[in-house]
């Protein structure tokens, strides 16, 4: 299921289970393409989209240097990240590894 962060409840949302957090910008062309790919995973995976312009402090706190940035969390703990564009197989593989831990 794809959710969009709308308020400062980031840690409440990701505290249980595996989450793929997509840090993106509305103005970022690669981010829009990545979003279209993530929509194909939306029903099978927990995906939280975070607009870096709305939640700049959160984005900065993770020291991410480029977008799109896909950061994987398990039970609230940062476990992995993929920077730039990645194909769906890379994303699925990373997510599955975390589910199997």
pTM value > 0.85: yes
Catalytic residue among 21, 31, 47, 48: 31
d(CA 29, CA 22): 14
Superfamily of domain 2-100: Glutaredoxin (3.40.30.10)
Q: For this structure, is 2 an active site residue?
A: no
d(CA 55, CA 38): 20
pLDDT band at 42 (very low <50, low <70, confident <90, very high): low
**Secondary-structure percent of the chain, ordered helix, strand, coil, rounded to 5:** 35, 30, 40
Catalytic residue among 2, 25, 28, 55: 28
Q: What mean pLDDT comes out for the span 11-38? A: 93
Mean pLDDT rounded to a whole number for the chain: 91
Domain boundaries, given as residue ranges, for the chain: 2-100
Q: For this structure, is 31 an active site residue?
A: yes
Per-residue pLDDT of 9-18, as tens digits, reads 999 999 999 9
């Amino acid at each position: 299921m794809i959710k969009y962060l709308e308020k400062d409840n980031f840690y409440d949302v990701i505290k249980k289970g595996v989450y793929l957090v997509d840090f993106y910008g509305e103005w970022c062309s690669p981010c829009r393409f990545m979003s279209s790919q993530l929509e194909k995973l939306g029903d099978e995976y927990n995906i939280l989209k975070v607009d870096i312009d709305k939640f700049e402090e959160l984005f900065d706190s993770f020291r991410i240097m480029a977008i799109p940035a896909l950061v994987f969390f398990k039970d609230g703990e940062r476990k992995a990240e993929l920077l730039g564009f990645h194909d769906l197989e890379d994303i699925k593989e990373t997510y599955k590894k975390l589910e199997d831990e």
